[in-house]
Amino acid sequence: MDKKLLIEQGKTSLGIEFGSTRIKAVLIEEGGAPLASGSYEWENQLINGIWTYALDDVWKGLQDCYQDLLADVKKQYDAEITQIGSIGFSAMMHGYLAFDKEDNLLVPFRTWRNTITEEAASKLTNEFNYNIPQRWSISHLYQAILNKEAHVKDVAFFTTLAGYVHWKLTGKKVLGVGDASGMFPIDIKTGNYDKTMVDKFDSLVSGEGFAWKLSDILPEVLTAGENAGTLTAEGAKLLDVSGKLCADIPVCPPEGDAGTGMTATNSVGIRTGNVSAGTSVFAMIVLEKELSKVYPEIDLVTTPDGALVGMVHCNNCTSDLNAWVNIFDQFAESIGAKVDKNTLFSVLYNKALEGDADCGGLISYNYFSGEPVTGFDEGAPLFVRKADDTFNLANFMRAHLYSSLAALKAGLDLMFKEEDVKVDKMFGHGGLFKTKGVGQRIAAAAMNSPVSVMETAGEGGAWGIALLADYMKNKGDSETLQEYLDNKVFAGQSGSSMEPVAEDVAGFDKFMKRYMAGLAIEHAAVDALK
């Protein structure tokens, strides 16, 4: 069908994802081919020691992003959108958005980036015998209880950012199982919150006198493919300020960026995995069996269709790397040599490949914020070297690329070396992989495993949630998510694969020994700069 007609007849699916620095919309046709996109840049704010986004910014960002998409559709196809086949919303996982019974926000949105829940996370991990990370929603709730925060007694509902947006646009307080698994542990057998742990939590706080039980205030859990409601008339106006978008469009379960990353890289099957590397970095491996013990560095979450996933999540990835590229950009501009930003990234990233495999002795810590995987509540970006180390541009850039994946490698090594987890396919996506062949090669060295990058990797999580919306609307009878992805979306695509280079693997291991030993320097920097 002519694409203009296809768009005007609503034979499309729309995915919108709220990332750390960008809100992105992707419109696709049936089967996943992207048609158009829109975006909106935004940033979190550190207010009173809390990383947050204002809810007004959530709606301004959503509306501007959607208008940007409409402009792209108009420019490419001279078409207007009035109907869409299905829609999905996704966002950064975890965090804490709590509301009272009148739907008022009780405290400013506490995002995944906060490392203020160490006591709660530790106590819940011990109580449940299950790793509960600091950024999980239940850690934020329990920390607020431990802190005797007055608002907790009034909580009627708490959710994630994706769950909040979905609720306001559909009226449904639901979450996809992948996003829900970052709020509270999921029982893989039932596809719902683990009842034993829910009961333990209620017992733990029984002396507080709250009117609510945990199951009363958590979102309902749904699995990929289930209908999660429709766009209400109010929701349609909230999304499209021009008022042209119809209501009653089916909406898929809202998901977290981990689930959309798995979907966008076709890594929802057993023994597949992916690395998402942007502002934060996480790697996810779909497990064949439960791990033998609790690891604080490894989260257990799920795919959008409920399979068990081992996840290593690090708060910091490319922020420090980007900051250094900006310094070089400012230098170039200062000497009258203005360079296109994409070209600058490409030149500096490729320069890193000329460096020594172990970075010539240089060490970098990219800790814009705390990094729980290595034991930090707060961070301070740090570059350090000895006078006799090989200090040149290539090693400098290579050290910062290694640093962007170093904390991740520390966690993944536990799965690979301690638990003997096997991976057949590993896919990379996100900003680190945009410069062809560089981030991919560094990631292959970090994991000592082949890493593939799909041609569609740049579409990211917004495309992933659009696929989940399309799957809900157009799946065949009893067609699994894996079958849908294999047969309709990725048929014939294997991506560009890169094997690890032995010298890089050995060099990264050498760098890691210095990196782990040098954590004491980072601790000193954090303490000295408080």
Tell me if 314 sits within 8 A of 360, measured CB to CB: no
- Residue 457 is predicted with a pLDDT of 55
DSSP letter string, 397-452: HHHHHHHHHHHHHHHHHIIIIIS----SEEEEESGGGSSTTHHHHHHHHHHTS-EE
**Token pair for residue 166?**
């979905």
Instruction: Give percent above pLDDT 70 in the chain.
Output: 99
**Scanning the structure block, which residue is given the tokens 């799957």?**
471
Backbone angles phi, psi at 163, to 5 degrees: -65, -40
Question: Distances from the Cα of 166 to the Cαs of 175, 192, 211, 466, in angstroms?
Answer: 9, 19, 26, 14
48: alpha, beta or left? (left if phi > 0; alpha if psi -120 to 50): left
Q: Which residues of 390-411 are buried (b: 16+ CB within 10 A; e: fewer)?
A: eeeebbbbbbbbbbbbbbbbbb
- Residue 431 is predicted with a pLDDT of 83
pLDDT, one tens digit per residue, over 102-138 is 999 999 999 998 989 999 999 999 999 999 999 999 9
Cβ-based burial of 207 (10 A; exposed 0-12, middle 13-18, buried ≥19) = exposed
Backbone angles phi, psi at 151, to 5 degrees: -70, -20
CA-nearest of 372, 20, 316, 311 to 178 is 311
DSSP state of 382: E
pLDDT mean over 95-100: 98
Which sequence spans correspond to the domains of the chain? 94-159+184-217, 267-453+500-530
DSSP state of 168: H
Cα–Cα distance between 73 and 78 in angstroms, integer? 7
The CB-side HSE value for 417 (13 A sphere, CA atoms) comes to 8
Instruction: Look at 15-19, 171-175, 351-355, 495-499 and tell me which has the smallest mean pLDDT.
Output: 495-499
Same-fold call for 94-159+184-217 versus 267-453+500-530: yes
Fold type of domain 94-159+184-217:
Nucleotidyltransferase; domain 5 (3.30.420)
pLDDT, one tens digit per residue, over 398-449 is 999 999 999 999 999 999 989 999 988 889 888 888 888 999 999 999 988 8
pLDDT, one tens digit per residue, over 446-459 is 988 889 987 765 56
- Judging by DSSP bridges, how do beta strands 22-29 and 12-18 pair with one another? antiparallel
- pTM for this entry: 0.84
pLDDT, one tens digit per residue, over 131-177 is 999 999 999 999 999 999 999 999 999 999 999 999 999 999 999 99
**If DSSP codes are grouped into helix, strand and coil, which group holds residue 85?**
coil
Multiple choice CATH, 267-453+500-530, 3.40.50.720, 3.30.420.40, 3.40.710.10, 2.40.30.10: 3.30.420.40
- Cα 254 → chain centroid: 13
Cα–Cα distance between 27 and 6 in angstroms, integer? 11
pLDDT, one tens digit per residue, over 295-314 is 988 999 999 999 999 999 89
